């Protein structure tokens, strides 16, 4: 396998892991923290809200502007 193929494989594994955990937490009936619950908890603090906003801003600027 080439380096490029390894990179894509690892990205795919990461994406799959996130998807599996999303579904698992969603189906757990509240026993596991969903992404929404984690985000709500982060947003409850000012620093968490700022960090989320900075991450969102970076993602948009990096993806669409530069």
Partner 1 sequence: MDTNPSGSGLPKPPRSVVTDRRGPIGPVVLGLAAAVLTVLASFTSPFTLGAEAITALPLSAGLAALVLRLRPAQRSCGTDRSQHDVAPPEPPHRWALVWLGLVVATVGWELYCYLNTPRSSHPTLSGLIDMLDARPIGKFVAFSLWLALGWVLVIQ
| Interface with partner 1, residue 27, by CB under 8 A | no
Among 9, 23, 27, 35, binds partner 1 (CB under 8 A): 35
**The token pair that represents 62 in the structure block:** 């990096």
Give 8-60 as a DSSP string: HHHHHHHHHHHHHHHHHHHHTTTSS--HHHHHHHHHTSHHHHHHHHHHHHHHH
In the complex, minimum distance from the CB of residue 27 to partner 1, in angstroms, rounded to a whole number = 13
Q: What is the enclosing helix (H) or strand (E) of 62?
A: none
In the complex, minimum distance from the CB of residue 32 to partner 1, in angstroms, rounded to a whole number = 5
Name the residues that contact partner 1, by CB under 8 A: 2-4, 7-8, 10-11, 14, 17-18, 21, 25, 32-33, 35, 37-39, 41, 43-44, 46, 49-50, 52-53, 55-57, 59-66
């Amino acid at each position: 396998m080439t380096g490029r193929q390894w990179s894509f494989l690892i990205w795919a594994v990461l994406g799959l892991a996130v998807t599996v955990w999303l579904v698992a937490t969603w189906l757990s009936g509240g026993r596991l923290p969903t992404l929404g619950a984690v985000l709500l908890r982060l947003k409850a603090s000012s620093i968490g809200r700022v960090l989320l906003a900075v991450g969102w801003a970076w993602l948009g600027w990096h993806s669409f502007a530069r």
